[in-house]
Amino acid sequence: MNKQLTIFDHPLIQHKISILRSVETSSNQFRALVEEITMLMCYEAMRDLPLEEVEVETPLTKTKTKMLAGVKLAVVPILRAGLGMVNGVLNLVPSARVGHIGLYRDEETLEPHEYYCKLPKNIGSRLVIVTDPMLATGGSAVDAIKLIKQHGGKKIKFMCLIAAPEGVKALTEAHPDVEVYCAHLDECLNERGYIVPGLGDAGDRIFGTK
């Protein structure tokens, strides 16, 4: 088992992934589910955030209790589909900064092409959560993380909903320091680079463009 990869087997996540896969699910429902699943995954992926002891005055007394130790977060969606996951992270960590990386996959070669990159300042001092619902060949995730590292990013986690074994292999080999989280590991890619059984084109389903 790959230690860099966490697959969520929680029943609520698996249930929601099944609805997401269905061709009957509307864009409206799809968007809401992507956000909910991301929030559930984010809750677990943030388990290693450091805490510090603080003093709080309750209505009864002063007490020592724990709060997050000033960890700064940046969430960086890979456009377009990664945008659908941003609010799932922001619901839990509202102070996170948001960067954007625009990549599209050439339908013939399956190679990613960069068209936009805007990242928060001092990204090196932040925990960076890269979001993209689909990890197919892994080309987009590998390139996006390379770009973040070129801008100084150091501590990076990658969060997707559905991964193909090919994408997990490519990503973990290219970036062995990056933890990868997915809600389900699917079987394979088809000849057009789509994840099988998958859920189709995540961007089109989120934005209703097909």
DSSP 5-50: EEE---HHHHHHHHHHH-TT--HHHHHHHHHHHHHHHHHHHTTT--
Q: Using an 8 Å Cβ cutoff, are 118 and 149 in contact?
A: no
CB contact at 8 A, 27 and 145: no
Q: Which is nearer to ligand PRP, 71 or 80 (CB)?
A: 80
In terms of CB distance, is 71 or 161 closer to ligand PRP?
A: 161
Q: 134 has which bridge partners?
A: 162
Choose the contact partner of 80 out of ligand URA, ligand PRP, none; CB within 5 to 8 A by kind: ligand PRP
* Nearest Cα residue to 37 out of 51, 49, 21, 23: 21
Min CB(74)–ligand PRP separation in Å: 18
Question: Which among 11-19, 44-52, 85-93, 187-195 is the span making contact with ligand URA, rule CB under 6 A?
Answer: 187-195
77 binds ligand URA (CB under 6 A): no
Residue 198 interacting entry, from ligand PRP, ligand URA, none, C-beta within 5 to 8 Å by type: ligand URA
Min CB(28)–ligand URA separation in Å:
18
x/- letters, 124..163, toward ligand URA (CB under 6 A): ----------x-x---------------------------
Distance CA(91)–CA(99), nearest Å, equals 16
Q: Angle formed by the axes of helices 139-150 and 165-174, to 10°?
A: 20
Q: What's the distance, CA 47 to chain centroid?
A: 15
Sites of contact with ligand URA (CB under 6 A)? 81, 134, 136, 193-195, 198, 201-203
Give the catalytic positions in this structure.
105, 109, 201, 204
